[in-house]
Amino acid sequence: MEEKDQTVRVKRKRHSAEFKAEAIKACLQPGVSVAAVALHYRLNANMLRTWVTAHERALAERNRTSVTAPAAEFIALPMPATHETVAPAPADIVIEVKRGAATVTVRWPGSAAADCANWLHGWLR
C-alpha cells in the first residue's frame, strides 16, 4: 500500500494596514515590549518585530529624503571703492656691488623694473 504525502497547507492570515499600524504604534510607546503587544494582539512576536523594523526604516528613509540642503545662492559682497584697490607703488630697487674696497650702489624706481632688468643684463655682460 502506497502512502501519499498529504500535507495540509494552512492559509496565512492577512492583516489590514490599519491593524498593523495600530500594533506598531503600540510597540513604539515607551516602556512597552514587543512581546507584550504581540500577546495582546495575538501575533507572533518575531513577525511584529519585523513590522516595527520595516516601519522604522521607512521613517528613516522618508526623513533622509525630506531633509535637503538649501539651494546655493549668489551672495553679493561689498567691494571697496576703486581708489582703495590701487596697489601702492613698488619700492625702489637697490643694487649694491662691492669690488675690493669700492662699493657702488644703484637705486632704480620700482615702477621701471623692466628697464632696470635690461640695464643690469647689459652691464653684467
Give me the average pLDDT of each 10-residue run along the chain (125 residues).
Answer: 70 88 93 93 94 92 71 77 65 85 87 85 77
The reply to whether 78 falls in a domain is no
Domain that holds residue 31: 17-65
The reply to whether 21 falls in a domain is yes
The reply to whether 36 falls in a domain is yes
| Residue 125 to residue 120: CA distance in whole angstroms | 9
In three-state secondary structure terms, 84 is helix
pTM above 0.85, yes or no: no
Total domains present in the chain: 2
The reply to whether 6 falls in a domain is no
The reply to whether 81 falls in a domain is no
The reply to whether 116 falls in a domain is yes
**pLDDT for the residue 90:** 75
**pLDDT for the residue 39:** 94
**pLDDT for the residue 57:** 92
The reply to whether 73 falls in a domain is no
DSSP state letters, 29-58: STT--HHHHHHHHT--HHHHHHHHHHHHHH
In the structure grid, which three cell numbers stand for residue 106, read together?
644703484
The reply to whether 59 falls in a domain is yes
